[in-house]
Amino acid sequence: MSSVWITGASSGIGAACACKYAAEGARLVLTSSSAERLEPVAQKCRSLGAPEVVVLPYELGNPEGIEELTANAWDAVGGIDIVMLNAGISQRTNVEDTSMEMVRKIMEVNYFAPVAIAKAILPRMVERGGGKIAVTTSIAGRFGFPLRCGYSSSKFALYGFFETLQAEYYNAGIGVTIVCPGRVQTNISLYALDKGGKPHGVLDPGQKGGMSAERAAQIIVRAIAKGRREVLVGRKELLMVHIKRFLPGVCARLARKIKPM
């Protein structure tokens, strides 16, 4: 029976993965900034068969408590086999309208928090004999995307850190899976930061028409179980990742034509 800790578990990919793991009989620790939004997910996970579900709310923009948060998650279920670093925040502002305060806020949640959790949980996993770390990036972390300068930067940065972690700790029994979603039906656009740092409040057409979070969870959970180094999750939009790899100039021209939303 595995123990799984998921951040960003109150909705979208995180909630769907929690339900998938619950159906497989895993013990769960669920984290997001809102205990109120976590509780319905926890109740559903219990009904699906999870023998233990611990709700551990935390605001990941607060770096001071990450070590304690990790210790609490670890102790809550007697050790973590899989940690899924999924929490994130996006934006809908161009470079000129993106304040440095917004950039730092996005980086704190999307990059520094998962890095800090990984650093805190890593020695525990190594001492225990191994474990799996999954981190959610984005296709916006593979190529620049309009109205996402801070968001794309944070997702690009995750690749650098977690690919390094993969290389350094592979022989210590630490598996790292980088999860790269395209358009998935989540609420991320609703809470994306607009000019002035206010929530965007609109479900973007790309999100609305994307892959279901449930289907994404099936792909992600399977990839983690198989020890995949990276998993692309989405539909035809994933083609841009391959275009960037082989035809970067074409990718740049296509990116300029993406309708901002």
| Adjacency order of strands within the sheet including 53-55 | 53-55, 27-31, 3-7, 82-85, 131-136, 174-181, 230-233
Structure tokens at 66: 């990450």
151 is an active site residue: yes
The answer to whether 221 and 207 have CB atoms below 8 angstroms apart is no
Q: State the DSSP code for 172.
A: G
Between strands 53-55 and 230-233, the pairing is unpaired
197 conformational bin, left if phi > 0, alpha if psi -120 to 50, beta if neither: left
Among candidate residues 258, 249, 10, 229, the one with its CA nearest the CA of residue 137 = 229
Between strands 131-136 and 53-55, the pairing is unpaired
Residue 144 CA, chain-centre distance (Å), reads 18
The answer to whether 4 and 81 have CB atoms below 8 angstroms apart is yes
Catalytic residue among 111, 151, 169, 170: 151
The answer to whether 30 and 86 have CB atoms below 8 angstroms apart is no
Between strands 230-233 and 174-181, the pairing is parallel
Work out the end-to-end distance of the chain between its first and last CA atoms, rounded to an integer number of angstroms. Answer: 42
Q: Which are the catalytic amino acids?
A: 151
